[in-house]
Amino acid sequence: QPLVRETLDAADEPLELLFEAYAGAMYPQDEMEDEEEEEGGGGGSGSSELKIDRAEMIHLLQDFEIMARGAPIEAMCGVFVGCKQALNPTEFKRCIARAALALSPEEDEEGAPISTNDHKLRWLLKQLPLRIDFTKLPVLDVQRRVRVLAAAEHIAGLLMV
């Protein structure tokens, strides 16, 4: 999927901001860092040591009403295949792309079909700037909210929303 990879690469900075905003928002990071050090992976710095729990990623999707609250749809079953409970930044981006496949509608707001995987990913990313004005971010502190706002702004410029 070269187009999906290109879109993910282009959206790397805003996805990193979203990752940093939600990673640890619901679950303490020090527990996950201890696990990582025990596994011998404590050599990096910054966000490379952060992990985002699957529930935090789902909360992100729910905050922007990309995914409804309550029981997840059946199509979400494959989103986290091959991943642990806590995701690193690369796994997070892969799971966002997979979630786009599971959650995107058949048509966009103008009624045009959403048929390619890249178009589905772009639809998901586009929801952030489109919905940021009325999205409440109840689990995020001010610094985390600033990251989400910056990510939405960056995506808006990237996708010309």
Question: pLDDT, tens digit, for every residue of 84-130?
Answer: 999 999 999 999 999 999 999 998 888 889 999 999 999 999 999 99
Give the pLDDT of residue 4: 94
Q: What is the DSSP letter of 67?
A: S
**Residue ranges with strand state E in 4-112:** 52-53, 86-87
- Which is more confidently placed, 107 or 148? 148
- Mean pLDDT across the chain, nearest whole number? 86
Q: What is the pLDDT of residue 161?
A: 59
pLDDT at 69 (0 to 100): 86
* Alpha carbon 8 to its chain's center: 11
pTM here is 0.84
Q: Are 150 and 14 in contact (CB under 8 A)?
A: yes
Q: Say if CB 79 and CB 118 are below 8 A apart.
A: no
Q: Could you give the maximum distance between any two Cα atoms of the chain, in Å?
A: 51
* Tokens 């998901």 sit on residue: 124
> What percent of the chain is predicted at pLDDT more than 70?
88
Q: How confident is the model at residue 52 (pLDDT cuts 50, 70, 90)?
A: very high
- Report d(CA 83, CA 91) in Å as an integer: 7
How many residues appear in the chain? 161
DSSP 8-state code for residue 72: P
User: What local confidence, expressed as pLDDT, does residue 28 receive?
Assistant: 73
pLDDT at 77 over 90: no
Phi–psi pair at 55, nearest 5 degrees = -65, -35
Would the pLDDT of 47 be above 80?
no
